[in-house]
């Protein structure tokens, strides 16, 4: 099932392979999509560049090595599996219910 979602040509133009970071004008992080999360960034990106100080028009940069830097091989991408369960009535009176399992991957935007 996961392989079918990831390899489906219908999703080719929507599939996400790399993390992104989005910020407001006030430099507050925005977390609207799964690939915007800190977890995805820290797991997939080997080096994050952080601006630490600006002085006399010179920006000092520090390379941060996340703890997860060696988890993924070079060029690999994450495929987060999302599972959900919800009770669904199968009869008008609600005496018969089911609990279907919903499955998707985090590489597909909302």
Q: Are residues 8 and 24 in the same domain?
A: no
Q: For the whole prediction, is pTM greater than 0.85?
A: no
Instruction: Count up the domains in the chain and report the number.
Output: 2
What are the φ/ψ torsions at residue 30 (nearest 5 degrees)? -110, 130
Q: Are residues 39 and 66 in the same domain?
A: yes
Give the C-alpha distances (Å, rounded to integers) separating 11 from 18, 38, 74, 104: 15, 24, 24, 12
Q: Are residues 48 and 82 in the same domain?
A: no
> What is the mean pLDDT for each group of 10 consecutive residues in the chain (110 residues)?
89 88 87 86 60 45 46 76 89 87 89
Q: Which pLDDT belongs to residue 19?
A: 85
Give the C-alpha distances (Å, rounded to integers) separating 83 from 1, 54, 104: 12, 44, 7
Q: Which pLDDT belongs to residue 10?
A: 93
């Amino acid at each position: 099932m996961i392989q079918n979602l990831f390899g489906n040509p219908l999703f080719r133009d929507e599939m996400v392979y790399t993390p992104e970071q989005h910020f407001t004008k006030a430099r507050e992080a925005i977390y609207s999509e799964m690939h915007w999360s800190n977890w995805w960034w820290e797991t997939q990106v080997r080096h994050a560049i952080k601006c630490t100080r600006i002085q006399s028009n010179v920006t000092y940069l520090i390379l941060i090595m996340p703890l997860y830097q060696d988890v993924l091989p070079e060029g690999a991408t994450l495929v987060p599996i999302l599972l959900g369960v919800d009770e669904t009535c199968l009869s008008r009176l609600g005496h018969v219910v089911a609990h279907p399992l919903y499955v998707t991957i985090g590489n597909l935007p909302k």
